[in-house]
Amino acid sequence: MLAIGTVSFFASPLQAKVTKLAVKYQQKSATGKICKDCMHFIAATNECKLVEGKINSEGWCTFYIKDPKKS
């Protein structure tokens, strides 16, 4: 019997974060969509829940999802 699982692109505390290169991270957004408005951005530490390393609040990546709590 072959078991086939699904792949999750959302990190849990037990999963490693993805690289900036993998999500086409940009230090400066060209689209107006910026990390500080994303639901994955952690402003207190300038980090992302999903992407490794320090993140520029004015940056952008392909994991961007507008935080519904921000207008």
| pLDDT, tens only, 5-40 | 555 555 555 678 999 999 999 999 999 999 999 999
Domain spanning 17-71, CATH class: few secondary structures
* Domain boundaries, given as residue ranges, for the chain: 17-71
Q: What is the pLDDT of residue 51?
A: 98
Give the global pTM. Answer: 0.76
**52 burial level (CB within 10 Å; 0-12, 13-18, 19+):** middle
Q: Please, which pLDDT band fits residue 68 given cuts at 50, 70 and 90? A: very high
